[in-house]
A = this chain, B = another copy of it.
Amino acid sequence: MNALPKFFGAADPVAYGGKAAKDPLAFRWYDKDRIVHGKRLEDHLRFAVCYWHSFCWPGGDPFGGETFMRPWQHGSDAMAMARAKADIAFELFRLLDVPFFTFHDADAAPEGTTLAESVANLNAIADLFEQKMASSKVRLLWGTANLFTHRRYMAGAATNPDPDVFTYAAGQVRAALEVTHRLGGQNYVLWGGREGYETLLNTDLKRELDQLGRFVSLVVEHKHKIGFKGPLLIEPKPKEPTKHQYDFDVATCFGFLQRYDLLDDVKLNVEQNHAILAGHSFQHEVALAQALGVFGSLDINRGDDLLGWDTDQFAMNVPELALVFHDMLKGGGFTTGGLNFDAKIRRQSIDPDDLIHAHVGSMDACAQALLAAADMLDAEALTKPIADRYAGWTGAEGQAILAGQRSLADLADRALASGLDPQPRSGRQEYLESLVNRYV
């Protein structure tokens, strides 16, 4: 397969054309060098293209087969196919002019007949990646290991009832972490794809949680051992593929990390679609991760509010993104994290250029949202009303309460003695909602 120049219709990287651009493939908002709050847009958004959805998924769903018919998925030499896939991937990175990419071990290199062979395949493709990265701008946002597709993992990896599966997973993660390190990855992700259960009838919940705690601890220790500086990232998801996943949501992951003393080394990779599957808004999950000190990175996509599974659609939802970026910017923005497109084109989007349109449309939506967020922050549109609303807590009595200088009895006595009758104040929700509409 040597079809590279012909796969995509476009030959030149997508360029910024402004809001009135005529070219269907121009960026209308993503002017990567535009300075916002002292940083280039590219450095704020830190876009990453992911391997799995864009280059590995053939377009199947539970009721239908392959639709995309990618040439690199129809050949007999698995390593040659993997190299052809890498060629297309790096061509897309170039066309989109993105600063980052992400991958699982299984995305990049074919599984061998033994773990040793799988690791060797991965390292061979990592050599190719190194070479390609040398001649391109793209860097590695994070790597990860696929511990959920193979049938050996059908009952989990770390939480498997069989310690040999735990051990096999350890072998895979070591290799993936080391490859990530070698390629300069800025984070390493652990997605607990099948770390959960299908039925409690056959499950020892307590034991499985301890296994999971142990596994993550092992990865933390190894990270330190090899000098990998980036954080580990756990990605909350409540369900799917399993009925219940231990990394249910941000709050659950926080409790887990705290319980196994992992807060120093592990942060969270929050995804919009996983947030809503857990019954939370994306903004909630990001704000909570920030409040709890575990904000790491974002899988930027969107789910369908009316569907109960992970649709992983490209994010086009500007008003929702603007509020998320508002909170993120307020908290200082990304350090090692970024916006990873854990998003797939619909299985009917079978033209190669649909891949480009999807990324460009979503990058533009993110850029527009970030600019709106920056404007809201500059105007203190939301921060000022919030500060005013809680002003009472910055007074002497509020501070004394929070500092532990008042007992329940102190407070009760004061309430009784003073005939305290606090009057409610308007929450002004509609005003704030319409105010936000002025910015997006």
**Please, which residues of chain B bring their CB within 8 A of the CB of A162?**
392, 422, 425
Stretch at the interface among A40-48, A55-63, A79-87: A55-63
Chain A, interface size: which category? 35 or more
A329 on the interface (CB 8 Å rule)? no
Known contacts A154-B64, A392-B164; is-contact A205 B241 (Cβ 8 Å): no
Assembly CA distance A132 to B357 (angstroms) = 53
A78 on the interface (CB 8 Å rule)? no
Name the interface residues of A144-175: CB closer than 8 Å to any CB of B: 148-155, 160-168, 170-171, 173-175
A219 on the interface (CB 8 Å rule)? yes
A382 on the interface (CB 8 Å rule)? yes
Q: Please name the residue on chain B nearest to A440 by beta carbon.
A: B318
A392 engages B430 (CB within 8 Å): no
Pick from B207, B404, B406, B434: contact of A390, CB under 8 Å: B207
Nearest-Cβ distance from residue A340 to partner chain B, whole angstroms: 17
A274 on the interface (CB 8 Å rule)? no
**Please, which residues of chain B bring their CB within 8 A of the CB of A119?**
416
**Please, which residues of chain B bring their CB within 8 A of the CB of A434?**
316, 357-358, 360-362, 364-365
A62 engages B283 (CB within 8 Å): no
Assembly CA distance A309 to B228 (angstroms) = 39
Nearest-Cβ distance from residue A352 to partner chain B, whole angstroms: 10
B205 engages A287 (CB within 8 Å): yes
A422 engages B152 (CB within 8 Å): yes
Chain B proximity mask over A397-415: 1 for CB below 8 Å, otherwise 0: 1100110101111011011
